[in-house]
Chains A and B, each alone.
Chain A
Amino acid sequence: MLNDDIAAISTPPGEGGIAIVRLSGQNVAEKISAIFKPYNPGKRIETRDSHTLTLGWLLDDEGDIIDEVLVSIMKAPHSYTGENVIEINCHGGNIVAQRCLEAILALDIRLAEAGEFTRRAFLNGRLDISQAEAVIEVIRAKSEKSLKLAIKQLTGHNSQYMTAIEEQLLKVNAHIQASIDFPDEVGDVDINEVSSILAGTEEIIEQMLEESKRTDIYRQGISVAIIGKPNVGKSSLLNALLRKNRAIVTNIPGTTRDTIEEHITIGGIPVKLIDTAGIRITEDMVEQLGVKKSEEVISEADLVIWVLDFAAGITEEDMEIYNKIAGKKRIVLVNKEDLELNISEAELNKLFTGERIIKASVKEDSGIKNLEKQIAEIILSGQVKQDDLKIMLNMRQKSALKKAKKHIHEAQHIMHTAPLDCLAIDLELALESIGELTGKNIKEEVLNRIFHDFCIGK
């Protein structure tokens, strides 16, 4: 706890396009190297000088790319905390940052306690003594907030499952401990029974993790990209969805060169809206950059809204874009139905058979409701229905459950060759991980179970 390796997202949630995951501790560079693949293979992060930037991919535990990231390294003592610090800039914003953090926490790196970076900074002399009280305020405020959150998160289905897991582990553990400490009174442990209980527990954890993946969208949200050739009304649509003016609305093609991101909720799900530059084949270098960017956005988006212009009709340019979004979840939004139509409905249906087509006029506010409805439907189709939602796990819970699962797995692995005392070590570690979530004092709980379940005494 004093100076082990820790990590957390250090940008506030829901703001801006770039999110930073910060790591601090002795071995963070070596550890992150396992999942960070620099573009230049010679630039392994642990070999880089202090205060350098390295571009590359961050991979998940299956080796798939999570995001293109920019990694900075600041070596002790010249860093914020005074320890070795790594900062990972995720392009994908907070949503992707969460996935990165998850991958990092699988590396024997712990989720930082509330205010822990600041505390370390202070203890390592990186902050002035006059700031001590402020640091304490940060710790108190953050820990209270996270405490409240933790308690809130431990209600409902989550806590039911968690209790079930804890119960099973306590039961097995109590039996093993009791048979060790009170061999006269307590019968031998039936290893096969232990094995099947553990298998059951492991399965519940597995299920929880699996199910939480499906509900992650409720926590993390999804990203929706608005694309289409210039002037079809993308920025206007974004604005309509936001009901506020953020993007510059203009009728000169190509003004929105970079992307604009906004966060809204649709059907209770956090949605990140990305307005892209108009995709167009162009000689203009600056614009080309923007175009390249929108292609990236398409590939990272969970859902694409492709905007067409009734008045302009369907052009070759449109069809090229259509090719780019092949294989994506998408909605075809045909805008400007208030104007004179250049394509008929029948034509549309023939061109885009099987597509979700919405006719709309952003200007006159028609079709927007329908769009929102369809977005929600798509997000949830193939996902769980809302009333089915059982498990939603935050980072801390996921990482604790994964740890528990690992220890249970190890326990099962050695069960038939190693004696009880070794088995007990793994099980205790598993229980401790669960205890981090339920807040129980595991040792006391095991003792309580021993005396509750077994008749012990002289």
Chain B
Amino acid sequence: MIYEAGSYDVVVIGAGHAGCEAALAASRMGCRTLLVTLSMENIALMPCNPSVGGPAKAQLIREIDALGGEMGVNIDKANIQIRIINTGKGPAVQALRAQADKYEYHKEMIKTLLNQRNLDLLMAEVEEIITAEDTVRSIITKTGAKYNCKTVVVTSGTYLKGRIIIGDIAFSGGPGNQFPAEKLSDSLKDMGLKLGRFKTGTPPRIDKKSVNFDAMEEQPGDDRQLRFSYISPLPDRKQLSCWLTHSTPETHQIVMDNLDRAPMFTGVIKGQGPRYCPSFEDKVVRFSHKDSHQLFVEPEGRATDEMYVQGLNTSLPEDVQIKVLKSIPGLEDVRIIRTGYAIEYDYVFPSQLKLSLETKNISGLFTAGQINGTSGYEEAAAQGLMAGINAALKVHGRDSFILKRSEAYIGVMIDDLVTKELDEPYRLLTSRAEYRLLLRQDNADLRLTEKGRSLGLVNDFRWQIFQEKKKTLSELISKLHQATFTPADEVIREFLNSKRSAPLKDRISLWELLRRPEIKIQDFYYLGLITVNDPDILEQVEIQAKYEGYIKKQKEQVERFEKMENKSLPADFDFSEVYGLSNEARQKLDKFKPISIGQALRVSGINPADINVLLIFLETKRRK
């Protein structure tokens, strides 16, 4: 029996990283929002590596944070270790990375959700999305509840027709032995969406008490007080260490001896897995010349003895997993708590989406997160936030919110998703971004806070902090430009001498001085030349000064890029109408339906001649 259970502006299906951000954004933007999850236990769950951030991903978190999203704030509350990686490799790619306390992360997120105005939480399985006239109308749960709604955001992660595989054993299931969602994919298919199947996997979790840490190398956290969000209080908790060990030739032999039972090789697993995240057995086979691989043993939280073995993602049979583990230094007496597994799941080809993450053929239906063929918590959260924002804007009858490739990693990711054919789960990498030097983690707030504010997602507290930061920044920068010194200046001469930096020849400003690699902005503070000592602000200014040339170069590239982006193609553009396009181009364009000339050029197989033909066609139309 189906019954009328209520009505909402926005229904979010799934409370993973995507769903939580979507629901929070929509409700914060004033929409009555329902967040449905299969289980309260899997809200903001990290089914794999208990770690967030790192290259490209840290930038995403900072961007989410600047737009008033939750991930940054939540990981600041719930980490056991946080540090900066890639420090020597340049400002564009250095990145914060935190080891998450999986349980705290989940609990803190539930608290936030429950405290959020306009937001209702519901545990149920959504089986069907009802549409009329290609527009979303309502959703129906397994238990017969029908919720009417204006928009739906589907963030069902790896649960759609999930299938768990461990060696010779396979069964239906979501990650971590959760229930899968068996019906929802069929409903999506009925709406005309095309689905594919991907695969991913996770290593076994082991009992801390059975690990001999003396045989491993300790990886402590960073002493500095680091945080993702500038609105988080500075952390004061003790950090937990991670541990480094490695596989041995014996380990690899065990794998080789059991390949006939490895589902990756026997054909049991059919979904395509990510190349950047191969299973351990895959690594042993493909890189047979290596007789050892690094493995990190990481705590999953403060209140648990479960530990994650990074590098050992596997779907080998359980008995083989035990043998493999025991051949590793420090794990001779190990006990498994959870067995490693692979999981296959349905995903929606993201080429069916608009840049707003709304599906092209069903009005009001948005998808975000792993259902779009991506992988990773941060990727999911960022899409969730954008889908939530755009669902809310749709409810309010406002234009969608789109970030360009030149504005944010979020823009890079979503543009990639809608213009590429995925042949493996998509992960964001710094190398996917063209304008890395502009899209840094340290300036995400400068890039996006104002946009977040106008969307209504940046609260007064964050806004005030941001305003103060901006003021300090600009004062400091003009101070550095104004303060100039001559070769005769005693203090500077001695200072330069102590830094083995060349003496001055002419009058020079502090800003120019800062371009010298050996000069650090912190030095100016110690010399009493500036009064600001906030490390975030100093870092920001130092990057701007030291990399001014490169930043300028990239800004010029962006200008050229934006010219092409601003040449827009009408939404209902019929490519088959265009005289002179090659057949291949016509098919490709019809499939991806680019919204600008720039985007069309990024569709694979489109060449400049096609673009020229398009331009002529547009002009002809305009003149008619």
B310 at the interface (CB under 8 A from A): yes
A365 at the interface (CB under 8 A from B): no
Question: In the complex, what distance in Å separates the CA atom of A257 from the CA atom of B48?
Answer: 87
Q: Are A425 and B436 in contact (CB-based, < 8 A)?
A: yes
Q: Write the nearest CB–CB distance from B286 to chain A, whole angstroms.
A: 7
Task: Please indicate the chain A residues that have their CB under 8 angstroms from the CB of B275 in the complex.
Answer: 451, 456
Task: Please indicate the chain A residues that have their CB under 8 angstroms from the CB of B547 in the complex.
Answer: 422
A419 at the interface (CB under 8 A from B): yes
Q: Write the nearest CB–CB distance from B427 to chain A, whole angstroms.
A: 9
Question: In the complex, what distance in Å separates the CA atom of A179 from the CA atom of B86?
Answer: 9
A4 at the interface (CB under 8 A from B): yes
Q: Write the nearest CB–CB distance from B179 to chain A, whole angstroms.
A: 25
Interface of A is mostly: helix
Task: Please indicate the chain A residues that have their CB under 8 angstroms from the CB of B429 in the complex.
Answer: 177, 181, 447
Question: A132: which of B55, B279, B553, B620 is its contact (CB, 8 Å)?
Answer: B620
A137 at the interface (CB under 8 A from B): yes
Question: In the complex, what distance in Å separates the CA atom of A122 from the CA atom of B517?
Answer: 51
Taking CB atoms and an 8 Å cut-off, the chain B residues in 260-310 that contact chain A are: 275-280, 282-283, 286-287, 290, 293-294, 296, 310
Q: Are A136 and B623 in contact (CB-based, < 8 A)?
A: no
For A121-139 the 0/1 string (1 means CB < 8 A from B) is 0110000010011011101
Nearest A residue to B276 via CB reads A456
A441 at the interface (CB under 8 A from B): yes
B85 at the interface (CB under 8 A from A): yes
Question: B580: which of A1, A4, A136 is its contact (CB, 8 Å)?
Answer: A136
Q: Are A133 and B615 in contact (CB-based, < 8 A)?
A: no
B560 at the interface (CB under 8 A from A): yes
Nearest B residue to A453 via CB reads B287
Interface size classification for chain B: 35 or more
Q: Are A455 and B580 in contact (CB-based, < 8 A)?
A: no
Task: Please indicate the chain B residues that have their CB under 8 angstroms from the CB of A396 in the complex.
Answer: none
For A394-422 the 0/1 string (1 means CB < 8 A from B) is 00000000000000000000000111111
Q: Are B431 and A180 in contact (CB-based, < 8 A)?
A: yes
Q: Are B277 and A136 in contact (CB-based, < 8 A)?
A: no
Nearest B residue to A188 via CB reads B88
For B361-375 the 0/1 string (1 means CB < 8 A from A) is 000000000000000
Question: B608: which of A1, A129, A422 is its contact (CB, 8 Å)?
Answer: A1
Q: Are B580 and A457 in contact (CB-based, < 8 A)?
A: no
A113 at the interface (CB under 8 A from B): yes
B564 at the interface (CB under 8 A from A): yes
Q: A123-B619, A456-B276 in contact; A422/B580 too (CB < 8 A)?
A: no
B16 at the interface (CB under 8 A from A): no
Chain A contact residue count (CB 8 A cutoff): 47
A350 at the interface (CB under 8 A from B): no
Q: Are A136 and B616 in contact (CB-based, < 8 A)?
A: yes
Task: Please indicate the chain A residues that have their CB under 8 angstroms from the CB of B283 in the complex.
Answer: 455, 457
For B589-624 the 0/1 string (1 means CB < 8 A from A) is 000000001000100100111011101110110011
Question: In the complex, what distance in Å separates the CA atom of A446 from the CA atom of B429?
Answer: 12
Taking CB atoms and an 8 Å cut-off, the chain A residues in 438-458 that contact chain B are: 441, 443, 446-447, 450-451, 455-458
Task: Please indicate the chain A residues that have their CB under 8 angstroms from the CB of B597 in the complex.
Answer: 2
A-B interface contact total, Cβ < 8 Å: 144
Q: A4-B560, A123-B615, A458-B313 in contact; A420/B579 too (CB < 8 A)?
A: no
A16 at the interface (CB under 8 A from B): no
Task: Please indicate the chain A residues that have their CB under 8 angstroms from the CB of B136 in the complex.
Answer: none
Task: Please indicate the chain B residues that have their CB under 8 angstroms from the CB of A181 in the complex.
Answer: 55-56, 429-431
Task: Please indicate the chain B residues that have their CB under 8 angstroms from the CB of A139 in the complex.
Answer: 580, 609, 612-613, 616
For B566-583 the 0/1 string (1 means CB < 8 A from A) is 010000000000011000
Q: Write the nearest CB–CB distance from B84 to chain A, whole angstroms.
A: 11
Question: Most chain-B CB neighbours within 10 Å: which of A137, A143, A180, A446?
Answer: A180
Q: Are A140 and B89 in contact (CB-based, < 8 A)?
A: no
Q: Are B567 and A420 in contact (CB-based, < 8 A)?
A: no
Q: Are B436 and A123 in contact (CB-based, < 8 A)?
A: no
Q: Are A457 and B311 in contact (CB-based, < 8 A)?
A: yes
Question: In the complex, what distance in Å separates the CA atom of A313 from the CA atom of B99?
Answer: 99
Question: In the complex, what distance in Å separates the CA atom of A424 from the CA atom of B436?
Answer: 10
Q: Are B277 and A185 in contact (CB-based, < 8 A)?
A: no
Question: In the complex, what distance in Å separates the CA atom of A429 from the CA atom of B528?
Answer: 42
Task: Please indicate the chain A residues that have their CB under 8 angstroms from the CB of B620 in the complex.
Answer: 129, 132
Question: Most chain-B CB neighbours within 10 Å: which of A177, A182, A421?
Answer: A421
Taking CB atoms and an 8 Å cut-off, the chain A residues in 90-138 that contact chain B are: 113-116, 119, 122-123, 129, 132-133, 135-137
Q: Are B567 and A140 in contact (CB-based, < 8 A)?
A: no
Q: A183-B86, A184-B296, A443-B431 in contact; A421/B278 too (CB < 8 A)?
A: no
Q: Are B89 and A457 in contact (CB-based, < 8 A)?
A: no
Question: In the complex, what distance in Å separates the CA atom of A458 from the CA atom of B376?
Answer: 12
Question: In the complex, what distance in Å separates the CA atom of A424 from the CA atom of B550?
Answer: 11
Question: Most chain-B CB neighbours within 10 Å: which of A116, A139, A457?
Answer: A457
For B76-94 the 0/1 string (1 means CB < 8 A from A) is 0000000001101111110
B117 at the interface (CB under 8 A from A): no
Q: Are B278 and A115 in contact (CB-based, < 8 A)?
A: no
Question: In the complex, what distance in Å separates the CA atom of A115 from the CA atom of B610?
Answer: 12
Task: Please indicate the chain B residues that have their CB under 8 angstroms from the CB of A188 in the complex.
Answer: 88
Q: Are A140 and B294 in contact (CB-based, < 8 A)?
A: no
Q: Are B579 and A133 in contact (CB-based, < 8 A)?
A: yes
Q: Are A458 and B436 in contact (CB-based, < 8 A)?
A: no
Nearest A residue to B219 via CB reads A184
Q: A1-B608, A119-B616, A183-B86 in contact; A458/B310 too (CB < 8 A)?
A: yes
Q: Could you write out 7 A-B pairs with CB less than 8 Å apart?
A: A1-B601, A137-B580, A421-B91, A422-B90, A441-B604, A458-B48, A458-B313
Query: Lowest 3 A-B CB distances belong to which pairs?
Result: A419-B90, A421-B90, A143-B609
Report which B residues bind A (CB closer than 8 A).
Answer: 48-49, 54-56, 85-86, 88-93, 203, 275-280, 282-283, 286-287, 290, 293-294, 296, 310-311, 313, 429-432, 436-437, 517, 547, 550, 553-554, 560, 563-564, 567, 579-580, 597, 601, 604, 607-609, 611-613, 615-617, 619-620, 623-624
